């Protein structure tokens, strides 16, 4: 039997912070036909709340360290403020949204990242997605809204990259559904030239990706996102799209579709 379609859509922090972009996105998401999951990042709000609370952002080699205080702020801002406001706004648009972290229903279990050269603190690398528990929500026609928090199964919440959460959910649920995974961010897609918003690469297979990567086309933020995307395709996800917050409306001409 052909698998039913499930859309998993991830929005980045820049979309969340842009009032108009978020409004447009949520309306488009509410109009998206069929079963669907939203995954959201946090944006700069966590940094500003941390600063106000006198918690210093600790960076090592350009990477943020999640100490205990920072984890509390992330839990407050991503799990509370951002997640629950998105849920309330989706409900107003008649989406039966339910806001989740990976701790809820034990849906996403992680391992705290081992300390090697750098101690990243309370950061989790995804170990297990409870696709059957999540599917009970989907089967009830609920739309899960995930923030970028997981847990270790022993009572500890962990900070996890939202792009990774989206791709791991996509991989886990591809056992049950035909998954269309979409990453929405502030650009129109993957760009050949980061300064030219019209230079969208409309189709990219894994071979082209490797070539362009070697040519140094992709900047630091795009590389892990693309690694997540190709990993998802390799592990059973049907289609991966990268575009702006309107790409899920099917009205956008420009966006990037990735292939193996």
Stretch near a second copy under the rule CB under 8 A, chosen from 8-16, 49-57, 112-120, 211-219: 49-57
Q: How many residues are present in the chain?
A: 260
Q: Does 87 bind a second copy (CB under 8 A)?
A: yes
Neighbours of 1 (CB within 10 A): 3
User: How close are the terminal C-alpha atoms of the chain, in Å?
Assistant: 24
Among 5, 64, 84, 131, binds a second copy (CB under 8 A): 84
Among 103, 241, 248, 258, binds a second copy (CB under 8 A): 103
Residue 11 phi, psi dihedral angles, 5° rounding? -115, 140
Query: Considering the complex, what minimum distance in angstroms separates the CB of residue 176 from a second copy?
Result: 16
Neighbours of 2 (CB within 10 A): 5
DSSP assignment, residue 216?
Answer: T
Closest among 193, 215, 217, 189 to 203, alpha carbons compared = 189
Residue with smaller CB distance to a second copy, 80 or 207: 80
Tell me if 3 sits within 8 A of 173, measured CB to CB.
no
Q: Does 75 bind a second copy (CB under 8 A)?
A: yes
Q: Does 212 bind a second copy (CB under 8 A)?
A: no
How is 122-177 classified by DSSP, letter by letter? SBEEEEEE-HHHHHHHHHTT-EEEE-SEEE-SSS-EEE--HHHHHHHHHHHHTTTS
Among 32, 77, 170, 173, binds a second copy (CB under 8 A): 77
Tell me if 67 sits within 8 A of 122, measured CB to CB.
yes
Q: Does 133 bind a second copy (CB under 8 A)?
A: yes
Residue with smaller CB distance to a second copy, 105 or 212: 105
Among 7, 28, 66, 83, binds a second copy (CB under 8 A): 83
Query: Considering the complex, what minimum distance in angstroms separates the CB of residue 22 from a second copy?
Result: 12
Among 114, 140, 196, 251, binds a second copy (CB under 8 A): 140
Query: Considering the complex, what minimum distance in angstroms separates the CB of residue 111 from a second copy?
Result: 15
Neighbours of 36 (CB within 10 A): 22
- Tokens encoding 217: 């086309």
Binding site for a second copy (CB under 8 A): 49, 52-54, 72, 75-81, 83-85, 87-89, 91-92, 96-101, 103-106, 133, 136, 140, 142, 149, 151, 153-157
């Amino acid at each position: 039997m052909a698998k039913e379609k499930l859309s998993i859509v991830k929005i980045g922090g820049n979309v969340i912070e842009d009032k108009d972009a978020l409004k447009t996105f949520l309306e488009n998401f509410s109009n998206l036909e069929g079963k669907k999951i939203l995954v959201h990042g946090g944006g700069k709000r966590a940094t500003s709340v941390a600063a106000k609370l006198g918690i210093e952002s600790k960076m090592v080699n350009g990477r943020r360290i999640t100490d205990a205080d920072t984890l509390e702020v992330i839990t407050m801002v991503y799990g509370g403020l951002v997640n629950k406001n998105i849920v309330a706004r989706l409900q107003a648009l008649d989406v039966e949204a339910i806001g989740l972290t990976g701790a809820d229903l034990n849906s996403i279990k992680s391992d705290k990242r081992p300390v090697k050269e750098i101690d990243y603190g309370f950061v989790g690398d995804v170990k297990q997605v409870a696709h059957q528990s999540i599917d009970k929500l989907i089967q009830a026609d609920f739309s899960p809204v995930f923030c970028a928090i997981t847990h270790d199964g022993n009572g500890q919440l962990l900070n996890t990259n939202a792009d990774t959460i989206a791709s791991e959910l996509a991989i886990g649920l591809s056992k049950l559904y035909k998954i269309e995974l979409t990453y929405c961010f502030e650009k129109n897609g993957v760009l050949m030239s980061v300064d030219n918003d019209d230079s969208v690469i409309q189709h990219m297979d894994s071979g082209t990706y490797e070539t362009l990567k070697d040519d140094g086309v992709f900047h630091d933020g795009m590389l892990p996102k693309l690694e997540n995307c190709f990993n998802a395709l390799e592990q059973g996800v049907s289609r991966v799209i990268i575009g702006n917050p309107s790409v899920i409306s099917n009205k956008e001409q420009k966006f990037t579709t990735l292939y193996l």
